Amino acid sequence: MRSPVRGRSPVQVLSPIDGEEASDNTPLLQGAPQAEAAPVCCSARYNLAVLAFFGFFVLYALRVNLSVALVDMVDSNTTLADNRTSKECAEHSASNKVLHNQMGKRYQWDAETQGWILGSFFYGYIITQIPGGYIASKVGGKLLLGFGILGTSIFTLFTPIAADFGVGALIVLRALEGLGEGVTFPAMHGMWSSWAPPLERSKLLSISYAGAQLGTVISLPLSGIICFYMNWTYVFYLFGIVGIIWFALWMWLVSDSPETHKSISHSEKEYILSSLKNQLSSQKTVPWIPMLKSLPLWAIVVAHFSYNWSFYTLLTLLPTYMKEILRFNVQENGILSAVPYFGCWLCMILSGQAADHLRAKWNFSTICVRRIFSLIGMIGPAVFLVAAGFIGCDYSLAVAFLTISTTLGGFCASGFSINHLDIAPSFCKRRCTPTPYLLSS
């Protein structure tokens, strides 16, 4: 039996007529000569994963903080006037001994205006997705990811000023933040195409991208606490400064590839390069026609589109649902909105370990692992998300269903989310742009 990658060019891997059934049923790199695995502790590749983890932590903190802050920025009477379902559920928030800080300026923005403000981020986000992949192949993922997050952090610091200028200025600013964040996933995928040994791919990528979920887990309740006890403007100042600090560490400690890393051990460098040499192609031109004809590639596109549609809708509007429908105050809102993403973060970490264990120790084929994890991560969330729409004002059940739904979505991190690197690692700097983000956003 032959490996789905070893000894074949990326163009052949992408071809839908190249004996898929025969190649898909064999474990990745089974029988291929492999260097002895380098130690994990203090290794350059896991240091990269940890720094990427914190990078995506900052990235999603910058993205979602407005969802909670907006609850406190808007005069509630303006929203209630347009919301016919806001009184369906009874007010139930317990009275707080510490009074809610009312110093922050309030704006008369109706529900439609709030929708435009929250959605404007994605109008910038879609623009830099495909160019981000191309730029990463030219300047390297380190610079692109670093300056993408730096730019978003700086724009975040100016959010209170933009809000004072008016809705138009705030929408433009959020779109600019989206431009900065749009390059991050293509840049990171490009770096992992040079850094991740195939049989550690699920672990390394799940660690790095799990930072996005933890960033959501921390930023949502922290934003709620800051709004409640201080002032909503400090939400943007805090996360903006954290992003700038992370940028300094990233530029100091990270390299684009093992060959250019200053402190990597010789054994680790040899391990990474030898494990990738049978996967990477010397072909420089992108095989666009075979890509467009590739059924595996379209399967990844459809899966991304479907998952991201529900994920980003929930990510953006969950705090609003908690306030307007379930009637939680801003402090409770931030905490309860974060619970589903804590489950997702935990699931991503554990599923990454499980996926690579199944491939390395149990000889599960890569395609089998990707399919199983994608199936769990797509069907499970769909069932519980639909069920959440039929439970009325049962607060506990609503939070439980949303938590289970989002948690199960974490399996996708070791499913279709990293399948780009399995089928075409040589072109991941350019081809692994998450195009479905563009459509679903």
Task: Report pLDDT digits (tens) over 201-214.
Answer: 888 988 998 898 89
The pTM assigned to this predicted structure is 0.75
The CA-atom distances, in angstroms, between 230 and each of 14, 104, 185, 340 are: 54, 8, 33, 25
Q: What's residue 310's pLDDT?
A: 86
Region 219-232: mean pLDDT is 88
The CA-atom distances, in angstroms, between 405 and each of 6, 10, 62, 181, 306 are: 37, 35, 23, 25, 14
Q: Which residues pair with 34 in a beta bridge?
A: none
- Provide, rounded to the nearest whole percent, the portion of the chain with pLDDT above 90: 37
Q: For residue range 362-390, what is the model confidence (pLDDT) as tens digits?
A: 989 999 999 999 999 999 999 999 998 88
Q: For residue range 295-346, what is the model confidence (pLDDT) as tens digits?
A: 988 998 899 888 988 888 888 888 888 888 888 877 788 888 889 999 999 9
The CA-atom distances, in angstroms, between 278 and each of 10, 28, 50, 391, 425 are: 11, 11, 27, 53, 11
Q: What's residue 80's pLDDT?
A: 52
Contact 217, 61 (CB under 8 A): no
**pLDDT at residue 264 tops 60:** yes
Q: Report d(CA 194, CA 17) in Å as an integer.
A: 28
pLDDT band at 32 (very low <50, low <70, confident <90, very high): very low
Q: Report d(CA 262, CA 270) in Å as an integer.
A: 14
Q: Report d(CA 317, CA 420) in Å as an integer.
A: 29
Q: Report d(CA 95, CA 329) in Å as an integer.
A: 10
Contact 308, 413 (CB under 8 A): no
Question: Which range has the top average pLDDT, 73-82, 95-104, 363-372?
Answer: 363-372
Contact 223, 71 (CB under 8 A): no
Q: What's the mean pLDDT when you consider all of the chain?
A: 82
For 90, phi then psi, to 5°, come to: -75, 150
Q: Report d(CA 401, CA 407) in Å as an integer.
A: 10
Q: What's residue 312's pLDDT?
A: 84
Q: Report d(CA 336, CA 399) in Å as an integer.
A: 7
Task: Locate 385 and state its tokens.
Answer: 């998300």
